[in-house]
Structure 1
Amino acid sequence: MEFLNPNEKIKRMRKKFRVNQAELENTNMTRAFISMMESGKRNVSKASSKLLAERFNEIAKRISVNLNLDEEYFCRTPKEDARYYCENELKDETQLTHKKLDELIEIEKEFELTDLLARCYKISGGMYNDEKDYSNAFIALNNALGLYKELKDEKSQIFVYLELGFCKYMQNNYEDSSLYYKNGSTYALNCGDYVRYGKGLRSLALCYARMEQYDESLSIIDNEILNNTIITDEETLIEAKADKALFLSFTERDDESAKQYFELVELIKSKDSDNYNVMLSLLYNNIGEYYYKIKDYNKSLQYLSQSQSLKLKCSKSKLSITLCLKAKVLYAQGLLEESLMLFDLATEMAEQYNRFDLLLDAYKDLAKALSESKLFDKLKQSMERLMETLERNDLKEGKRFALYKLVEVANNQGDQEKCNEYLKQLENFI
């Protein structure tokens, strides 16, 4: 994309339509004045730009060309033209592609359009997150964050921090994720964005739960969300209650947790929204897990089937959770082959949707079943498959677990050479 000086625009437009300066003049703009503007001896004012645009639009119409020059076209500098072009391209973000954003980013870099450059990086990062390309998402969002800090734009930093938190969460990097969510929540509170403030806090609580810091998770849910009068978003409050019930189950308070699940199911059934259907599917899943824990396998499968049915409609990316739990129920019932088939399907679904947090959970449950069943060849295959996936997606979280299980396989198969090889690789994680 080329952006010209005002005098260069006049010259190029005359040559394009093969007109001389005399054909452009009118009562308000003489040929001599046009010549001075074209030579750069006089600036092009807004009034002159309007007259020139009108004249060239008329000339273009004679040959059935819709030129549609705006009134200020001839008085804008190259930098102003670059801004004008980029802002127009950004009007409909839903139509943007990475190719178009890359083009805009290069223009904005060249003309030092910092605010627009930050916006393009922010949009690009969000798109990459949606596409589950978390490595590129982090690069783009980190670029956006640096620019917004330079601009002292706290409001825009809220979105970027929360997207960075999500990006790291999906890569199983919960410590970094928690820092981003904490910063995002702080900026949201400072800017009075209480909806994002609540969502950021809830995500922070989930990070702590992933790091098995359940008391911290429950404290955030109770003290900073549910008992906080400035958080009024109904969806956030219901989600926080569901999270609390889940965290209670992690702390061995299963009966209290189940009671809250059932209360939430009755509340959410009255809602008619895809978001609430997603939440309902998670609640059915968690109730199924409750019955699994108390060894009521028939009821567990009943609720897990309801969860699976809903997830197939509105939340396929989380289907691996339910499939994995179903596999555990079948395994507990002694149905080994059926359970292994579901475990494999769970890992495939998690990988298909780049849900690496769920992928690792599924592989851990699969490894437990294979280890207990002394199926060491299959255990080796599954851990090698996990390592390949982690390598392919540049993920560190999970490699230590995979190597540990591979050491177990080598030890049980009496392969000392392999055992030593895996132990040496494990040293990098100690």
Structure 2
Amino acid sequence: MDKCVEFINGNKKIKLLRKQLRMTQQEFQDSHFTRGYLGLLENGRRNITLQASKIIAEKFMKKAKELNVELELEEDYFSRSVEEDAKLYCEKILKNDLSMDELNEIMNIGKKYNLISIEAKVYRRKGDLYFEENQYLEAYKNYFYSMDILRGEEVNIEICYIYNVLGYCKSHLLDYEEAIVYFNKAIYNAEIFKDEKVLMYSTYNLSVAYYYIKKFHEAIDIINKFIHRIDMDKGFSTYVYANILKANCYEELGELDNAIKILQELTDIVKERNDEESNKFLGLIYNNIGSLNRKEGSLTKALDYYNMSLKIRNKVDIKNVSHTLIEKANIYVIKKLYDEAIMIIELGIEKANEYNDYEYIFKGYELLEKIYCELNMKEELEKIIEAAIEILKNTNNLDLKIKYYTKLQELYFKNKEYEKAEKCLGMIQKLLKFVSFSDKINIGEVF
């Protein structure tokens, strides 16, 4: 992309092209177009109408053809304003795959010429790049800036997508309550614009968010409505994920038989397809069946399912290997094989960190806490809690921050490190004040 791109007025375009093609003003004259009129247009003393622009463009292209020069001009090339040219240029460039630096260059053009629609598009594209790199906080910021521009426009279907990804980012940052607000707005706007794709995604994502705030019956109700709308041929993956989530809800409600039945029926459906995507689903399903068997006390059976899951995920779903590793480690914790458990958990956390998978980073930390408490390993426990607090700096989850600062304070107090405990108490008090302030002003609410 040309970093030195400039945009000029129509009169300057005429002068520049006339000079390049060595044309005189006399050559433009005909019964409908005088030499004097061209002079007025060139000097900026008359506005260039669309009709005038069309005539001038035709004469330039005719001259270029005589000189064997390739030249294609739109009818409105000379009547367009600098801002219109800048917008057309940006829209053309934005059709390509762009780096962050190239997007920033387009953003600078947008800001210079007050092209707010271009700014909204660039913020979205930057958000997409950050999202692909699992940088959910930066993605959220850019999507939010895009949304802030789009919601000021009367009609824009793009807002449906933006609300959904805002919610998705908040879910990854463990801010589920705020995610629910965005998903509901995505659903509302998707229904208005009849955007079926976003409607399906945001409905599913809403049920996931309800699952994470432990509103399992609400999640199941949404999932059932969602499943009835799915065309199995066109939306097989969404059908699979919805049923897995439904099984997870029943698991959390203690209805393990219902959960196992759903997953076993799903296994048969998935195996029939026998492709790479289906293998990826099997890795997830086997992982979840392993967890259900573990909860039922069938540890050997659970271990078999976890190992089948790992075999698949190491080939086709490396991003989620950490999930199975950390779930599998629970078996070794139950058996009090702590050295093996610690080794597996640390590997799982390492894998989760590669993808900023905060959910499983904290699941791993919680398991390690359990082990270190059992073994009275105070120093290691302190390190784990401090590591969790450091990770939480990348999220806005105030509840988790308070939870871990409270754990650290209690640990310091037990170790008679009263000065450190007092500092933790100060942090907790600050966070509690912020929670109170957030409640009053509805931080994160978007109207």
Give the TM-score taking structure 1 as reference length: 0.88
Matched, 1:75 2:79: yes
Q: Which residue of 2 aligns with 1:49?
A: 56
- Within-5 A mapping of 1:177-188: 177-188=179-190
Match of 2:169 among 156, 167, 170: 167
State the alpha-carbon separation in 2 of the partners of residues 376 and 409 from structure 1.
8
TM-superposition CA deviations, 1:37-59 (whole Å, max 9, x none): 32224444232332354157458
Tell me, in whole angstroms, the C-alpha distance in 1 between the residues paired with 2:304 and 2:414.
38
Structure 2 distance, partners of 1:332, 1:230, is: 42
Is contact 2:61–2:71 with CA below 8 Å preserved after alignment? no
Which runs of at least 4 in structure 1 moved beyond 6 Å after TM superposition? 26-30, 229-232
Cα RMSD (Å) of the superposition? 2.8
Q: Does 1:255 align with 2:262?
A: no
The answer to whether the Cα contact below 8 Å between 1:242 and 1:261 also exists between their aligned partners in 2 is: yes
Q: Secondary structure at the match of 1:151?
A: coil
| % identical equivalent positions | 26
Q: Which amino acid is 2:24 matched to?
A: Q
CA offset digits 1:116-138 (Å, max 9, x no partner)? 33223222222222222223222
How far apart, CA to CA, are the structure 2 residues paired with 1:392 and 1:59? 64
Q: How many residues align?
A: 423
| 1:282 and 1:307 in contact (8 A); partners too | yes
Uncovered stretches (5+) of structure 1, i.e. residues with no partner: none
Alignment of 1:27-426 (within 5 A): 32-44=36-48, 45-54=52-61, 57-58=64-65, 69-70=73-74, 72-92=76-96, 95-153=97-155, 155-222=157-224, 224-227=225-228, 233-391=235-393, 396=398, 398-426=400-428
| TM-superposed deviation, 1:218 | 1.7
State whether residues 351 and 359 of structure 1, in contact with CA within 8 Å, keep that contact through their aligned partners in structure 2.
yes
- Judge conservation of contact 1:288–1:300 (CA < 8 Å) in 2: yes
Pick 1 or 2: higher relative contact order, CA cutoff 8 A, min separation 6. 2
SS at match of 2:310: helix
Change (3 A) 1:397 1:130: farther
The one-letter code of the counterpart of 2:15 is: K
Report if the CA contact (8 A) 1:328-1:339 is conserved.
yes
Letter of the 1:370 counterpart: Y
Contact 2:175 2:397 in 1 (8 A): no
Q: Is the 8 A contact 1:53 1:74 kept in 2?
A: no
* Offset from partner CA, 1:182-203 (integer Å, 9 cap, x none): 1111222233333332221211
Give the alignment partner of residue 11 of structure 2, picking from 7, 10, 13.
7
Tell me which amino acid in the other structure corresponds to 2:79.
C
Using the alignment, how far apart are the partners of 1:176 and 1:59 within structure 2? Answer: 65
Q: Structure 2 unaligned runs (5+)?
A: 433-447
Say which is worse superposed, 406-415 or 363-372, in terms of deviation: 406-415
Distance 2:343 2:59 in 1: 73
Contact 2:286–2:306 at 8 Å: present in 1 too? Answer: yes
- Whether contact under 8 Å (2:389, 2:404) holds in the other structure is yes
SS in 2 for 1:172: coil
